[in-house]
Amino acid sequence: MGKVVGWWKAKKKFTADDGESHSLYFKGSAKSAQLTIASKPRLYSAFISQVSVSGKSAKFKKAKSEAQAVAKKIDANRNKDPKKGVQTDKMTTWLSELARHTKILASERPQNPPSVISFGGLNSNGGGTKMTAEVLSSNTTKGSKPTDKPQIWQEVGKRKVSGVSDYFQGHLLNEQLGGPGRAHNLSPITRSANAQHLRDVEGPLKQRVLGQKKVVKYTVTASYGSHPSRGFQTELKKKGNDNLKPTEKAKLTLMNYEQKKMPTAFKFSWQLLRYDASKKKWVSDTAAKDKGSGSVPVNLPDGDFKIAAG
């Protein structure tokens, strides 16, 4: 004989085929115990009522039918006096059986939906402004390296230090996540900003979307505005325009352009999505703590440099 008292403490964990962990357990005790399912806690009756069998396989339909039967058996026995009621080992067996059926139901939900991505327009200098991925998954188009050279890039791309540009044509949506190398997805940023954006934003997102096959909502906005004057820029201004050499005038002109036209930051936010069977769409998983938002600053380079021939 198994133990009689405390059956409502029984718990069964399982992992669906999509890698998401779930638990079957009771909320409350004795007669008030209610069968509950979690990744996101909710009553099992609420979960099973939202499971549609329309267009599903015979295996799926059978799993729902048998899950309902086991859940009904558990509900019938949980109302018994705990001193005379169901034994813990029997309740655990039923939970294991229910988990086996529920795994099938959880695993046949829509997975890896097509990415849904849109872009804002170009600003007056041809810089990309915003990328919105309402749905971002590994099911996305192939990205590409920059091919467009908008006006803003033709100007700031001239700046060279040791033969190398101080700037990158930064993708608003990373190339490996499906970002095209076209002007609407590009904005010039510094090497340091590009490295920070890759480390703090794109790297973690690629791990989740491409590695863990998670689905997210993701936005990036290139925020354009005025930058503070830099030391070298101020130094040239103090000389006076009439005292500047042609090369110095060209450098000052470029720095003034950078100061007014370059983005000041890449602002970002991302949130995990979950599939809502009742709404038949992917929605924000508000219970998930795994999310991010913030700003990657674009601090303009200072010091002398060379201008490449146009």
- Residue for token digits 């609420």? 46
Same domain, 44 and 15: yes
Residue 99 structure tokens: 């988990």
Lookup: tokens for 226: 């005025």
Q: Which of 77, 107, 137 is the last residue of a domain?
A: 107
Dist. CA 210–CA 143, nearest whole Å: 13
156 and 303 together in one domain: yes
- Which is more confident, 178 or 310? 178
Q: Would residue 2 count as lying in a domain?
A: no
Same domain? For 165 and 257 the reply is: yes
Pick the last residue of a domain from 51, 85, 107: 107
83 or 136: which carries more pLDDT confidence?
Answer: 136
What rounded mean pLDDT belongs to the chain?
86
Name the pTM for this structure.
0.70
* Same domain for 41 and 170: no
**From CA 162, how far away is CA 182, in angstroms rounded?**
27
> Which pLDDT tens digit goes with each residue over 196-242?
999 999 999 999 999 999 999 999 999 999 999 999 999 999 999 99
For 241-262, b where at least 16 C-beta lie within 10 A, e where not — what string? eeeeeeebeebbebbeebbebb
Q: Bridge partners of 117? A: 133
pLDDT classification of 154: cutoffs 50, 70, 90: very high
Other C-beta atoms lying within 10 Å of the C-beta of residue 182? 15
Average pLDDT score over residue span 96-117: 79
Cβ-based neighbour number of residue 219 at 10 Å = 18
Q: How far is CA 25 from CA 92, 93, 273, in A?
A: 10, 12, 24
Looking at the fold, whether 33 and 74 belong to one and the same domain comes out as yes
Residues of the chain with pLDDT > 70, as a percent, come to 88
Interatomic CA distance for residues 201 and 195, integer angstroms: 10
- From residue 246, give the alpha-carbon distance in Å to each of 10, 36, 64, 232, 249: 82, 76, 79, 16, 5
Per-residue confidence band for 37, with pLDDT thresholds at 50, 70 and 90: confident
Domain count, the chain: 2
Integer Cα distance of 148 and 184 in angstroms: 9
Q: Is the pLDDT of residue 87 over 80?
A: no
Domain presence at residue 252: yes
Residues 125 and 98 in one domain: no
Quote the domain boundaries for residue 17: 7-107
Which of 81, 53, 88 is closest to 67 using CA atoms?
A: 53
What is the CATH classification number for the domain harbouring 146?
A: 3.40.570
Alpha-carbon distance of 183 to 175, in angstroms, equals 13
Clarify whether residues 77 and 222 are in a common domain. Answer: no
